[in-house]
Amino acid sequence: MRDPNEPFENLRPLDILAIAAHPDDVEQTCGGTLIRMAEIGYRSGVLDLTAGDMGSRGNPELRIQESTVAAGHLLLSWRQNLRWPDARLENTTPARMTLAGVIRRIRPRVVILPHWTGRHPDHYRASEIGYEACFLSGLKKLEEDTPPHRPSKIIYSSLYANVTPSFVVDITRQFERRMSALFSYASQYGDASEASELFPAHTEVAERLAAIARFYGNLIGVKYGEPFVVKEAMQVDDVVSMPVRSI
């Protein structure tokens, strides 16, 4: 993890950046993939747009502290929080410009966004803002003091979307570490009495997420998986060596 006060200019470009509405979002939806990519040798990072200040449990300072602990489990090279207002994300010009500026400075090759549908408005707003910021960041005249940069690939985490995934990542070896990252948020997933009617018990959360990961893993013949969607066709050069059996 870098010093959060270190200038962007001193940061080596990231290979993969996940943009999320709240702390603990990526831990649920694409944390295993981030871990797997880091183990391969890629530099991964997370940008949380809000600190979850409207949540029934915890407070912004605590949730950011917990996200720092989770970042260690995720093997992240970088994580920051923009502290935008929780439950009030809006796709505005200032929001897009701010996020585009961050993207120009950390120069990710791949960006992971939430799926563009979702129950929480912040999730689909984060997807909208993220996509448009990725486009804007490639415009030469957007800023005079930073060179243009546009990620080569945008993928959407679709764990909670009722859609057929474009592909599934095998996270069998990374699953337990992903769960350790998620449970770093003790304010959210501890068995506290506060808002207990809204939050499942710790063991219930673990069982639910394991069941979901098993479902997606089964689609590709592995134990645990994380699903993603892309909007464009994917190129295949060798149909003989394509993974996952048909029958």
Q: pLDDT by residue (tens digit) across 138-176?
A: 999 999 889 999 999 999 999 999 999 999 999 999 999
Residue 228, classed as helix, strand or coil, is strand
d(C-alpha 228, C-alpha 91), whole Å: 23
Percent of the chain with pLDDT over 70: 91
Average pLDDT over all residues of the chain: 92
Q: What is the mean pLDDT of residues 229-245?
A: 94
Cα–Cα distance between 40 and 58 in angstroms, integer? 34
**Burial letters 133-155, b for 16+ CB under 10 A, else e:** bbebbeeeeebeebeebbbeebb
All domains in the chain, ordered by first residue: 13-190+199-229 (3.40.50.10320)
Structural tokens at position 219: 């689609």
Instruction: List, for residues 91-143, the tens digit of each pLDDT value.
Output: 999 999 999 999 999 999 999 999 999 889 999 999 999 999 999 999 999 99
Determine the pLDDT at residue 147.
95
The pLDDT of residue 54 is 82
Closest CA to 183 of 101, 95, 66: 66
Structure confidence at residue 3 as a pLDDT band (50, 70, 90): very low
The model's pLDDT over 176-208, given as tens digits with 9 standing for 90+, comes to: 999 999 999 998 886 655 545 556 788 889 999
Give the mean model confidence (pLDDT) for residues 6-28.
Answer: 86
Residue spans of alpha helices (H) in the chain: 25-29, 31-40, 60-74, 93-106, 121-136, 175-182, 186-189, 202-219
CA gap 209, 176 in Å, rounded: 11
* pLDDT, tens digit (0-9, with 9 covering 90-100), for 29-88: 999 999 999 999 999 999 999 998 887 677 899 999 999 999 999 999 999 999 999 999
Q: The tokens 């960041």 sit on which residue? A: 137
Helix (H, G, I), strand (E, B) or coil at 107: coil
User: CB under 8 Å to 98, separation ≥6 — which residues?
Assistant: 82
Is 79 in contact with 45 (CB distance < 8 Å)? yes
